[in-house]
Amino acid sequence: MAVKIRLKRLGKIRAPYYRIVVADSRVKRDGRAIEEIGKYHPTEDPSFIEVDRERAQYWLKVGAQPTEQVEAILKITGDWQLFKGLPGSEGTLRVAAPKADKKAVFEAAAKESMGETAKDGATTPKKKPAKNAAAAAEPEAPAAEAPAAEAPAAEAPAAEETSAQTEAAADATPAEG
């Protein structure tokens, strides 16, 4: 059986991308493949090329013939030079620069437009902790006043003072954040 390493076309009409496949030479271009060994996206800049080096070397060693296009791709990745024993097996593959994180770019633009540096990276300031501390102290205050209602009238002013002291202490302590 004559085996070829060739491109299998995928994608839309004007947006092609290819799989590098090992297939019988008698089957049609986009037909059944023996194995997929890579990807090729020519529309990206620089072109995206990914080849499984180990599998490509195996198929070249057992006699699979690459097409002209695949041979050019293998030369770029350095697999053809490695197979032929030529220098330059590291290849000349260009890799696209990593894209910046969209969230980081947005936060940097927000900081620049506001003219201030945010501590936690949030674009809006957090609520004030004093309101949270007062809200937490309110459920404790009715529990402290309930025994005061049962106590004699002489002890009632003392209970009010202790609840006022409890609220003042809650306001004075900084809220944990």
pTM: 0.54
Query: 18, 9 in Cβ contact below 8 A?
Result: yes
The topology under which CATH files domain 3-84 is S16 Ribosomal Protein; Chain: A; (3.30.1320)
DSSP alpha helix (H) spans, 5-155: 53-61, 68-77, 79-84, 102-114, 129-137, 140-150
Q: What is the pLDDT of residue 6?
A: 93
Burial of 69 (0-12, 13-18, 19+ CB in 10 A): middle
Domain boundaries, the chain: 3-84, 102-172
pLDDT means per 10 residues, the chain with 177 residues, are 90 92 88 91 89 93 93 91 84 76 86 68 62 61 55 54 58 57
Q: What is the pLDDT of residue 15?
A: 92
Q: What is the pLDDT of residue 149?
A: 52
